Structure 1
């Protein structure tokens, strides 16, 4: 009723009914689902539940083995109204288009500073298809009563040339930068040692989560060796950890020229090492293994894995499902536990059935109540064969100071009959004297440096290493070259570089005093290192960086230029802002330090009062 007590009917207050075209999302993962999907008539039924409207937009999400150009599939598409738009997602028509323009510009600037250390990542210019609409990032569809309209205005339509013109604007260097888009994988022509051929590719250099400038951790190291028959220098590749989308980083970095270099990398890849079970280190490994199996399905090569035993359990269960739909042979994977290379290996924990687990969980499960399985090392004969195949002289692991079942590794490779190359990789850890021991006299150290030195309390709490600590580990190891990586998202774009021996000594003394007599204060150690800070070559890794062993030092001369990439336009305001942030960090750090020391005193007091300790 209105204010005049007159009845109000629906047709008086409602507009005309509007009818919108329907949208359908078809997900057909493989051929097993194809026949039932395209022969079903349910898509074209009109009822109260399905709605009387015609379809105006259909997304076809198709698996690799689906041929959308088959007459049967084309006939299925033609059954929809002629006005209906079809968007197809399939590797056959997927463009490797640029998505993150901010990162692309940042990398282009880095390449202008260090031209011989970066490829221009592989991507294709967006080209709309006339026959089918291809699924693209940032596509938009507007569904109105009059139909469906597609808008590609936000799709990044750039090339490296257009990005250079807009963002760099140095025409005299353009040809030099853009022509050097793919760095060679071949052995170098003039070298003093086989070690100089070693090539390190820091595919991902971030921690925890991907950011705009850094993906999570992954390192590819190409190890040279002299072929016994041809006497030519060839390469074996190893992967050290593989966070989310490691395969995507490999494709971007080596996918040029019909994936010519990518195929070479998969020909060379023979070993994957996984340091621990955090997602930012392992989430991309399965896809790399699957791609390796697909690439090498017509040969008899083996892929060796040194991984925590839990990941082998997961991998076995995963491939039971994935390989049901793929003609791949997972038996070609050679599994080795990280415990294989430790003097006193720990037993594995027995897997429990769900009911048994629930009972133990209700009773308060702990690692002490879970049955253990005695570790069974591989036979000496098997290990000798693996070492021969990998051209490895020695592999040693040690338990990292991070989480349970976390490891660091040192590997010594045979380059020829006389020369070796020792590589050490920290994984995630606090500075570790046992790692220093197994990594002593390494030729190259790849060490995490998650946090800058003023965040030492966070490093202690989360069991990570700061920059000055990582450099100190290299010094203790007598290692001449160190690559720092696994940076926190706080430093995704810039670093506070330690540029001189004076800065290093100052930072070391400050850290030594701060840590005091805590366990593993590596700055308290007395040692006779062959290398001072000025002797060492230190590189702060960036995503997709490609660097030869004899070029680790080239970044040092460019520290100032690299920092300029992220300098604020209003430097004075930024400086004031940074000072306020530093003050807050200092106050927070001191608060955490007081809490930590109080907790240590409480534990010590409790231990002294415990009669069992007397």
Structure 2
């Protein structure tokens, strides 16, 4: 044993210790790598936020602006953003709010209060996703304001929307309570419906009361449809029916942890098809409440739905002392120094010459705080409550003080109610100085520029695959004019439909134009009082996007070469098979986890033949994507003809948009005066826990679908002599089969085979799966997730996803004619990394890409132009890959050096 005083031994020992600590092969490092990663940045951000809040809470902000985020247009969220120097508030949070907030870089780190007018999907559909974003930026708590029980939406979604570091608080919202902070005071006004009023509104949800249509086993479990309009006798019948069906509804529960695999070390043992199924699938029926909420919460929710309360808000900014006027101070002889501070604090001072100076002598007039109203009158049944409200009357022309007059009224009210003579008369009772901002379906702006920007660029490459979007409701700058064009901007009784009409004109209040119809980023400055500001509104500038791309060096030449290749290949394809019109595949969302500005979450529309559609997965914003692609009017025909929806698994990015699509389909059928039955919902049986909860306590959706559990369609296990065979034939399919895949519990892959012969396989989310390969043998098209690039294979294992090469390899093994890759990590917002495995039958999917089956050979031709078009993004990906490889090389070299040190130590011994 060498002496510890030996310098050589000491250096070797020190080197060995250092290398051991840095080695990725050490036990410690391995343990650290496999431990769940705590989001440390969230805790740090929360502490920082608390310090800032404490500092500024004592001051009344000098700047408060009301900003339109979601206009309420068809397919767009309803979301009104109010921000001051240090605080943020949101009024309503419809589906898609998270994506718009991400695109427009809204400072959600300061958002702590969300006000909801009514607990319906168009107001709360974006709450789960927005809460995740708020959590990630370090907000410690958000407070919900609105009808009772609103917070239970988080209890219902907790299995697939994981909120760990954000506290959800529900404010006490009654007519006798208020909310107050350093920015404003909010009074709650409850509108209640008059049940004696019967009306017909296209946007109203059906009140029929049969239970959820569920296909279990071989029989159809659904009650007969019962008409229950709002007459008193029918309401009593509905209550009795609810009590009879209560036990059945309570039996459906889902206690599965769908994200457990991301918190535990992945076990490589794959489950064989012959092994037992996941316990949560076998034990889908439990004798517990649907989502394990308390009986008290259930009673509150049931009462809220029964009464149909709509919450309105009277918001008054806190009074602010007038600012110190230095010119007046000089005139009064006030010297610089502490006397100015005393005057600013509101105290009178005595000057050296004996004169007294008061605050009123040297300050601007106090700002008492302007007042604005947020109003949502859902149907004419609520008009009595609204018109007769004494609280509103105090701020109309009957106000006894000028500061009590409403400065602005924000209307979330549907247009058919606003057109009611009583609603118009109520508006006329406001002062002529009051402005009226409308956020409802009459607006046309959907809020996103990025989707138009990338679509205009991709359209340069292939007009067939990337048609320009049907959403033309956003202001557009044409090459002939600098005016902000909006072809469908509407004003009440306005006969001027010229496309040159600008939002600046809308700010002029006349008897013909009493309302302001908004686009995203319309601002209304409350303090200082500057009123309407439309300079920041979104503008689509097609020429700018095209010039930006064409100015890339060598791009025109590459584009010309692409066009020539495209035409040659297309001619050859036409000569061979006449280019069938169907099927068409439209990608509505090609991103994973959360939406970003260019890739929405999962959704694929399969048009099997003319006016026959099947939707594969349904992430948040899928309904909006349909409206954006087809346009406000044309999308109704598509929605009405969606006959089936397939949900692969119960992660939120694959099914949270389902309710929006179901409601959109129903409105489309009403609008087109079409009578069709419920669509077929192919999904894991456990989805019922969520859908039943929403139906029982928020809005009736029970008549809109029949559930066929994915487990009933397992390959080689289904019985052809079942009800499902009739459903498959009704959908013009010869076969629909599923299989378990390697992802979260109850995750499935699917293959659909049409009666004309084409076969399409969709993986959902999965690691490479032998079950899927067997299921999709000889498919015409495999649509497979490719979440990670090849170098991130270890990360893909942890999250149970596939790399690009793995997805391509699955296509080869199942002998698929073509493979389209989708579900890319948001790090690949524009383009994934290519590798040598990309071949002539492998394509990349983009949002709003529509391709026919016979056009698939054309897709790989796009690669050179795509790399050049998104060169900056692609170079960044390559740069990160090089840095990652250098790190791996350093770790490998350190490992080799460590082994040498060990050997030297042994030799010394």
TM score, norm. by length of structure 2? 0.49
Deviates more, 1:162-171 or 1:25-34: 162-171
CA displacement at 1:396 relative to structure 2: 1.8
Q: Distance in 1 between matches of 2:746 and 2:865?
A: 40
Q: Distance in 2 between matches of 1:282 and 1:383?
A: 22
2:393 corresponds to 1:393: no
Listed as ranges, the gaps of 5+ residues in structure 1 are 172-187, 225-233, 346-376, 505-532, 596-614
Give the alignment of 1:144-223 within 5 angstroms: 144=527, 147-158=529-540, 160=542, 164=546, 192=577, 197-223=582-608
Cα RMSD, aligned residues only: 3.6
Q: 1:190 to 1:160 in 2, by over 3 A?
A: farther
Correspondence for 1:259: 633
SS at match of 1:292: helix
Q: Distance in 2 between matches of 1:300 and 1:343?
A: 30
Q: Does the aligned pair in 1 maintain the 2:713–2:736 contact within 8 Å?
A: yes
Q: Distance in 1 between matches of 2:432 and 2:793?
A: 64
1:57 corresponds, among 389, 392, 408, to 408
Q: Distance in 1 between matches of 2:644 and 2:461?
A: 32
Correspondence for 1:270: 643
2:613 corresponds to 1:237: yes
1:116 corresponds, among 464, 472, 478, to 464
Q: Distance in 2 between matches of 1:203 and 1:589?
A: 40
Give the alignment of 1:574-589 within 5 angstroms: 578-579=878-879, 582-584=882-884, 587=887
Q: Distance in 2 between matches of 1:29 and 1:164?
A: 43
Q: Distance in 2 between matches of 1:450 and 1:559?
A: 19
Deviates more, 1:473-482 or 1:151-160: 151-160
2:432 corresponds to 1:79: no
2:455 corresponds to 1:88: no
Larger radius of gyration: 2
Listed as ranges, the gaps of 5+ residues in structure 2 are 1-336, 349-357, 476-485, 490-502, 507-512, 557-572, 896-909
Q: 1:84 to 1:190 in 2, by over 3 A?
A: farther
SS at match of 2:797: helix
Q: Distance in 2 between matches of 1:452 and 1:104?
A: 27
CA displacement at 1:588 relative to structure 2: 6.5
Q: Distance in 2 between matches of 1:103 and 1:396?
A: 34
Correspondence for 2:303: none
Q: Distance in 2 between matches of 1:559 and 1:295?
A: 38
Correspondence for 1:446: 783
2:821 corresponds, among 468, 484, 489, to 484
Correspondence for 1:22: 371
Q: Distance in 2 between matches of 1:153 and 1:168?
A: 28
Q: 1:53 to 1:484 in 2, by over 3 A?
A: same
SS at match of 1:28: coil
Q: Distance in 2 between matches of 1:579 and 1:494?
A: 14
Q: 1:378 to 1:61 in 2, by over 3 A?
A: farther
Q: Distance in 2 between matches of 1:217 and 1:586?
A: 34
How big is each residue's C-alpha offset from its partner over 1:174-226, in whole Å with a ceiling of 9 and x where there is no partner? xxxxxxxxxxxxxx9988379662111011100011111111110011113xx
Give the alignment of 1:326-405 within 5 angstroms: 330-331=702-703, 333-342=705-714, 380-405=721-746
Correspondence for 2:748: 407
Q: Distance in 2 between matches of 1:31 and 1:168?
A: 53
Q: 1:267 to 1:61 in 2, by over 3 A?
A: closer
Q: Distance in 2 between matches of 1:3 and 1:331?
A: 72
Q: 1:436 to 1:166 in 2, by over 3 A?
A: closer
Q: 1:18 to 1:236 in 2, by over 3 A?
A: closer
CA displacement at 1:270 relative to structure 2: 1.2
Correspondence for 1:132: 515
Q: Does the aligned pair in 2 maintain the 1:277–1:308 contact within 8 Å?
A: yes
Q: May I ask how many residue pairs the two structures share in their alignment?
A: 484
How big is each residue's C-alpha offset from its partner over 1:275-313, in whole Å with a ceiling of 9 and x where there is no partner? 111111111111111222233353134411110112123
Q: 1:148 to 1:414 in 2, by over 3 A?
A: same
Q: 1:462 to 1:191 in 2, by over 3 A?
A: same
How big is each residue's C-alpha offset from its partner over 1:559-612, in whole Å with a ceiling of 9 and x where there is no partner? 11111122239x9xx67x9436532366379989x99xxxxxxxxxxxxxxxxx
How big is each residue's C-alpha offset from its partner over 1:243-263, in whole Å with a ceiling of 9 and x where there is no partner? 0110111011111xx623x23
Q: Distance in 2 between matches of 1:58 and 1:246?
A: 31
Q: Does the aligned pair in 2 maintain the 1:454–1:586 contact within 8 Å?
A: no
Correspondence for 1:356: none
Q: Distance in 2 between matches of 1:191 and 1:67?
A: 57
Correspondence for 2:685: 309
1:247 corresponds, among 607, 612, 623, to 623
Q: 1:343 to 1:107 in 2, by over 3 A?
A: closer
- Which structure has the higher relative contact order (CA within 8 Å, separation 6+)? 2
Q: Does the aligned pair in 1 maintain the 2:640–2:666 contact within 8 Å?
A: no
Correspondence for 1:463: 800
CA displacement at 1:168 relative to structure 2: 5.3
CA displacement at 1:54 relative to structure 2: 2.1
SS at match of 1:215: coil
2:762 corresponds to 1:428: no
CA displacement at 1:422 relative to structure 2: 1.3
